[in-house]
Amino acid sequence: MAANIIDGKAIADRIRQSLKDDIQRLNAKKGIVPGLTVILVGKDPASQVYVRNKERACMEVGIRSKVIYMDQGVSQDDLLQEIYRLNQDKETHGILVQLPLPSHIDEAAVINAIDPRKDVDGFHPITVGKLFVGESGFEPCTPKGIITLIKETGQDISGKHAVIIGRSNIVGKPVSIMLLKENATVTICHSKTSNLKDVASRADILVVAMGQPEFIDDEYIKEGAIVIDVGTSRVDGKLKGDVVFDKVVHKAGWITPVPGGVGPMTITMLLKNTVQAAYQSE
232 binds ligand NAP per the rule CB under 6 A? yes
DSSP code of 42? S
Least separation, in Å, of the C-beta of 15 and ligand NAP? 15
Q: C-alpha dihedral over 266, 252, 205, 53, to 10 degrees?
A: 0
* 191 to 132, 167, 170, 231: CA distances (angstroms): 23, 9, 17, 15
266 binds ligand NAP per the rule CB under 6 A? yes
Give the contact letters, 200-219, x = binds to ligand NAP (CB under 6 A), - = no. ---------xxxx-------
Choosing from 22, 54, 222, 251, the catalytic residue is: 54
Judged by CB under 6 A, which of 14, 30, 43, 190 binds ligand NAP?
A: 190
Of 136 and 195, nearer to ligand NAP (C-beta) is 195
Q: Is the peptide bond before 174 cis (omega within 30 degrees of 0)?
A: no
Burial of 192 (0-12, 13-18, 19+ CB in 10 A): exposed
Question: Contact 104/110 with Cβ under 8 angstroms?
Answer: no
Least separation, in Å, of the C-beta of 192 and ligand NAP? 5
98 is catalytic: yes
Of 231 and 257, nearer to ligand NAP (C-beta) is 231
140 binds ligand NAP per the rule CB under 6 A? no
* 188 DSSP β-pair partners: 164
- Residues acting as catalytic residues: 54, 98, 121
Positions touching ligand NAP (CB under 6 A) are 142, 165-168, 170-172, 189-193, 196, 209-212, 230-233, 262-263, 266
